[in-house]
């Protein structure tokens, strides 16, 4: 779909984030780092969260840790940023993260939930720890920060007597959309994040807060074993995180005030808006209640007529790519 002709210099200018404060989780590297840098470029003060702590690099020199390193990049470029070293999957540390934004910059306007890990394995081989860890970091981590940001905005709205400025951008995944066979924990967590997104969007709408989810495809330290190598021809990497961060910045900006409860797939110069689930077929019992025989009589031929393997998952989303010449 071609972009609307209504894109104007005025609307682009209104995407400024000057005077806004953003929290980005898992922002010490990869996608989160690109998102933090982009929000700062547009003028936001950024609280850069990451779990990695200060230490020493390979040469033995002192290292500030990934969160402080990114915060330092932002400050060196003339922006405002502080680091927060903490585990967003810990309820109290998530509370402290939100409090850091408010105490340091006087407000919280944008929350980008990005922190995550991978523990890929087939469902018949997965350990309890591999399941619990991924669900904890992704799904509970998203909930924890959302819970305290939502509380903050609700209190602000009550004090103001009306809507306030609030933006949440959550990170889901194509693994949930496509039903990735080797990632049952990750797909389940990301599906849960979409549910959290739509529920929170409805709950916070009256306070002026928008909540959306992105399904990014990006080359990061977490996905370095998943994607092919960087193109050797020197061209722009279609899986560079910088293809994703502008969408995050847009969803965090004033022009996106009317966009909420949405799910986007984004990578390589392409953004796809995902459709909500729709009813594909309906069957009504001829009597007062269905029995097994009647269900077999209507459902078995229905599925026999559909394509083999066709179900709720959308594996075709993995074939999305930017059209040549667009």
Catalytic residue positions, numbered: 173, 186, 190
Residues in the chain: 326
Q: How far apart are CA 226 and CA 210, in angstroms?
A: 32
| Residue entry with tokens 């392409």 | 270
Which among 28, 209, 23 has a CA at the least distance from the CA of 102?
23
What's the angle, vertex CA 121, arms to CA 117 and CA 127, rounded to 5? 85
Query: How many alpha carbons fall within 13 Å on the CB side of residue 96?
Result: 12
Helix (H/G/I), strand (E/B), else coil: 132: helix
Q: Torsion angle, CA of 247/244/26/78, rounded to 10 degrees?
A: -70
Beta strand extents in 132-291 (DSSP E only): 166-171, 209-216, 263-267, 270-273
Considering only CA atoms, give the Rg of the chain. Answer: 22
Cβ-based neighbours of 42, under 8 Å, separated by 6 or more:
15, 16, 17, 18, 249, 253
């Amino acid at each position: 779909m071609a972009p609307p002709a209504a894109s104007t210099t005025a609307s682009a200018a209104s995407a400024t984030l000057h005077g806004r404060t953003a929290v980005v989780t898992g922002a010490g590297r990869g996608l989160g780092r690109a998102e933090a840098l982009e929000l700062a470029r547009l003028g936001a003060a950024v609280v850069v969260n990451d779990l990695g702590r200060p230490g020493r690099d390979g040469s033995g020199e002192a290292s500030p840790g990934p969160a402080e390193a990114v915060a330092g990049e932002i400050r060196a470029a003339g922006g405002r940023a502080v680091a927060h070293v903490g585990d967003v999957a810990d309820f109290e540390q998530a509370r402290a993260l939100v409090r850091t934004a408010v105490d340091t910059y006087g407000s919280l306007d944008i929350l980008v939930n990005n922190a995550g890990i991978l523990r890929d394995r087939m469902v018949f081989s997965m350990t309890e720890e591999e399941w619990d860890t991924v669900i904890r970091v992704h799904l509970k981590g998203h909930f924890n920060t959302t819970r305290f940001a939502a509380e903050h905005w609700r209190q602000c709205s009550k004090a103001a007597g009306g809507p306030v400025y609030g933006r949440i951008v959550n990170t889901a995944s194509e693994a949930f959309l496509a039903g990735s066979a080797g990632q049952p924990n990750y797909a389940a967590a990301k599906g849960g994040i979409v549910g959290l997104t739509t529920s929170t969007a409805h709950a916070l709408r009256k306070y002026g807060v928008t909540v959306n989810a992105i399904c990014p495809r990006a080359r990061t330290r977490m996905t370095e074993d998943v994607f092919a190598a960087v193109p050797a021809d020197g061209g722009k990497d279609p899986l560079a995180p910088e293809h994703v961060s502008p969408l995050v910045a847009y969803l965090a900006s004033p022009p996106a005030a009317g966009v909420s409860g949405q799910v986007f797939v984004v990578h390589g110069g392409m953004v796809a808006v995902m459709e909500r689930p729709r009813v594909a077929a309906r069957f009504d019992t001829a009597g007062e209640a269905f029995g097994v025989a009647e269900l077999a009589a209507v459902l078995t031929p229905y599925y026999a007529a559909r394509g083999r393997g066709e179900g709720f998952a959308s594996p075709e989303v993995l074939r999305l790519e930017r059209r040549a010449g667009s």
